Structure 1
Amino acid sequence: MFSKIKTCTTAKEIWEKLIQICEGNDETKENKLIVAQQRYESIKMKDGETMAQFDERFSAVVIELKSLGKEYSNRELALKVMRALPRELDVKTMAMLGIRIRPPVRQRKNKN
């Protein structure tokens, strides 16, 4: 790292060079954001993965997105997690969302 900043003559130059090295230019930032958003959109809980492992993976993507300027509301994050869970957790998912599971209601024939 020092070899990249040793020619800088002011603290401002050093700081700007370090930002460029660590964060990249605007195009690099945009590409990082696109890749992170794609990971967010496609994230699913893997077979054999524990909830803690999934949470760690999901949180890492959310933190990366936040550092790149993209934030989601708590509601959006909760809904994304629910959609990312495997089918066998659907009933638990609905329970967590407060949705009642009821059998379909049959319409009664009018006797009149």
Structure 2
Amino acid sequence: MAHFSKVLMFSKEDFDDWNIRMQAHLAAQDDDRWFVITNGPLKILKPNTTIAVTEDAQEMVEKQRSEWTSEDKKKANLDNVAKDILYKTLDKNTFSKIKMCPTTKEIWEKLIQISEKNEQTKEKKLSVAMQKFENLKMKDGETLREFDERFSILVNELAALGKELDNREVALKLMRALPRE
């Protein structure tokens, strides 16, 4: 099992980044681990042998726990593993808000709700980011590469907040932000 040395601590303020990093982290460890977060715990199934099989599809039924193979047990435990990873990223206050959620899918949905619950906060973040965009200028002594990095981060932040900038708007901003020689 993969282990990460730096815990990605949950933050309402940096939820968008945390969300992307956790998705990547969980999916990188096991595609099914991300599946249980988006779809709920995996059901361990087997073909139903008590009814006639049709040519198109065979009906599946849940396996009894006593029939599980080692692989079945690993799959069934993915929700617990993902839950453990999420718990380790939460502070005491946030944990208290999700601790009664029985599945990682419900935990994840609750964390999204906690983080995006306040639409005013998102609007404020967008307003601040737009103000930064409007006032963006290349700093004295700043290289073009450094400016480009700051500019790209800001454009990505705006996109994450739902602000679509058209190419013309971006080009005009760049022309105004760069020093004239």
Give the 3 Å change call, closer, same or farther, for CA 72–85 of structure 1 in structure 2. Answer: same
Equivalent residue runs for 1:55-74 within 5 Å: 55-74=148-167
Instruction: Write the distance in 2 (CA, Å) between the matches of 1:61 and 1:33.
Output: 11
- Decide whether aligned partners of structure 1 residues 24 and 62 sit closer, same or farther in structure 2, where only a CA change above 3 A counts: farther
Which residues of 2 match residues 101-112 of structure 1 at below 5 A? none
Residue deviations 1:29-73, cap 9 Å, x none?
111111111110100000011111101001101000001110111
Question: Are 1:28 and 2:110 matched, yes or no?
Answer: no
Residue of structure 2 in register with 1:100 after alignment = none
Larger helix share, 1 or 2: 1
**Cα distance between partner residues in 2 of 1:56 and 1:73:** 19
TM-score between the two structures when normalised by the length of structure 1: 0.68
CA distance in 1 between partners of 2:104 and 2:167 (Å): 39
Identity %: 66
Unpaired runs of at least 5, structure 1? 89-112
What secondary structure does 2:142 align onto? coil
Q: CA-to-partner distance for each residue in 1:9-45, whole Å, 9 max, x for gaps? A: 3445312222144445211111111111111010000
Partner of 1:49: 142
Q: Which moved more, 1:28-37 or 1:1-10?
A: 1-10
Count of residues in correspondence between the two structures = 88
Unpaired runs of 5+ in structure 2? 1-9, 11-86
Structural RMSD (CA): 1.9
Aligned residue number for residue 75 of structure 1: 168
Aligned-partner Cα distance in 2 for 1:20–1:55 = 34
TM-score, normalisation: structure 2: 0.44
Tell me the distance in 1 between the aligned counterparts of 2:116 and 2:180.
38
Amino acid at match of 1:26: E
Per-residue deviation, 1:8: 1.9
Amino acid at match of 1:81: L
